Amino acid sequence: MRSLAATLLLAGATCATQAQHTVILHQDTSLYVFGTVTDYQTGDSLPGTGIIIQNWPRGQEQRRLHADEHGRYEFYLGRGDRFRVSYSRSDRVQKHVEIDAVSVPDSSWHGGMAMEINMTLFKPFPGSDDDLFNEAIGRSRYNPATNLLEWDLAYTERIRKRLGKYMEDLDEPRGGK
C-alpha cells in the first residue's frame, strides 16, 4: 500500500510538473495558459479551485480566478515576464508552478503561444510537513533550440526525489508497512 501511495503521489506530481507540453499558435502575442485541476486520488475535477497569477519573484498579484464547474481554467499572460501560478483549495495542499517568459525573443511571439498545465491536488495528511509545496513543483522556461517554453526536467527530478522522501515520512507516523 505504501508503494502504491508513493506511486500515486509521484504520478500526480509528474503530471502536474511535466504537464502536457503543448504549444499552439493563437491570434495574438500573448501566452495562453489552460488546463484542468483534478484530485490526484480519484481523478475527479476540482471545480472552484482558486488560481492566483503573480509576477515572480516580486509577488505582485496580477489576477485571481477559479476553475469552472468541470475543473477547467484558462487565462492569458503578457510576454517578457516571470510568473508564478498557484492552485489552492481549503481542503487541498496548495501547489505552484513558475513560467519564465523573459528570454522568449520577439519573433517567437508572433501568433502567440499556449501552454497546457493539468494540475493535481491532494488532501493534506495529518501531521505532515507540507513545506515542500511552498516551492514551485515545476518550472518552465524558453528553450531556443526548440523555440518553445518547456519544463525544466532536471528541476522536476529534484522535486520528484523530495516527494518520494515526503511519502516515506508520511508513512512513519502511520507505522509504515
Whether the full predicted model's pTM is greater than 0.75, yes or no, is yes
For residue 83, the cross-strand partners are 55, 99
pLDDT given for residue 2 in this prediction: 33
pLDDT given for residue 170 in this prediction: 55
What is the C-alpha to C-alpha distance for residues 100 and 77, in angstroms, rounded to an integer?
11
Q: Is the CB of residue 99 less than 8 Å from the CB of residue 149? A: yes
Q: For helices 2-18 and 153-174, what crossing angle results, to 10°? A: 150
pLDDT given for residue 171 in this prediction: 56
What is the C-alpha to C-alpha distance for residues 49 and 70, in angstroms, rounded to an integer?
10
Beta-carbon-side half-sphere exposure of residue 154 (alpha carbons within 13 Å)? 1
pLDDT < 70 positions in the chain: 1-28, 129, 167, 169-177
pLDDT given for residue 28 in this prediction: 66
Residue that the C-alpha cell 494540475 belongs to? 119
pLDDT given for residue 51 in this prediction: 98
pLDDT given for residue 112 in this prediction: 85
Cell reading at 159: 522535486
